[in-house]
Structure 1
């Protein structure tokens, strides 16, 4: 069921590209429009490895959810969940832990439309129609399914580059701190985003995505900026890395076969603190 719906979010605007629909196309999906495919073509001109990175990122998501479920985590809060594809978070988690509960957060109208038809028969899932920066509302609404006094895995997988920097609580780093403060000891946060050492790639992609999405974009960052997101957390081994190197199931590609334009970079942080009464 979709909760917290905003009637305005039901309108699918096909005059602008959507990051969720572009990601769907990059993964080989069909839930996208010509405007999204055209935007992807322009994106690939700036960063040719983008399609490879989308698939690498999806593999990382499957891997990290499976590993956390194997550790006994049975609650997941997935921000910017995107369009359904194979092996969504609840499917991966529930294979290991059949009773795992998953709350998806997204406000893309096409994502919500699919959620209404595909998740209604799964009583251990919930979809929240919220901007991911509304942390207080998300916590309140998710309590219908999740127990915040027990460990939760909070996912920000390839989504923080959609958020701009800010001087208030909507800033990505501030958002991470606010959620970490609310989580029970033993919780995890999974964070990764697109980064580049090349200023032309950072500037070119950031400007393109802002243009094609009508401003629904943040920016491509550098690795040291993403590391700052983990300040409230204890970083799990193997530290923060290109996600293809995060506990891979098979040998990752050698350096000469790696993308040189940009990478998906991040890792997993653990909440370790004593909650105040």
Structure 2
């Protein structure tokens, strides 16, 4: 018996890296998987059906069940078709793992509009588009008396939550937005039997290897006989746990890196100033001017 026996899952960006490991583990745990990957380059340009199909072939060779999808999740209709494919192939959708992403790093002063738009589109719009169409499917099922036990796992990042990374204003903003989207979606979709969580993973992927200042850190692999804690395979078990039926968590963001899983919390008040009446510039200066920077 696998953790995900009988579950139907869509996993985006599953042709390589972390998404590939999600797909392989999900299938090994008994899920039927739609492996989505546009097959583009790190910056999102181009397309290639090979990566998604290669993962499907690997799953099938191991005795699992999977189909490929090479649609663009940043396209609203492409996301709709992806959800529809899962339902057509397997009768329903139980799990959505939003993982697809790209990088177009640049410092803000030199950041072009196209660089901003492309990253926000794939990450934030891609998550929103998939959530919208999956939510519509689950809402209809609930209305029909077939209340699902469904799960969404979104992919945020330390870059947008805990470790601001110079040169990644677009990526960090998208990832912070995904964390906020997760919390809102959890509030909205619980009534339909849907849990929504997010992870902020750190692992060795083609994107982290291409990130300035990080490539050398992630390039080092474990020695013989040592656990490779930076492997993307080390991320997938948390996602499989969050995807299983009856998981108790919703509206959470988990950081996962190496041997550590952390439950994150959002913005909190570090200091508070109180003032009677309307604020003035002088009153603000008096009240918070002494706070340490």
The TM-score bracket by the shorter chain reads 0.3 to 0.5
Larger radius of gyration: 2
- TM-score of the aligned structures, taking structure 1 as reference length: 0.46
- TM-score of the aligned structures, taking structure 2 as reference length: 0.44
Q: Which has the higher contact order (CA 8 A, sep 6+)?
A: 1
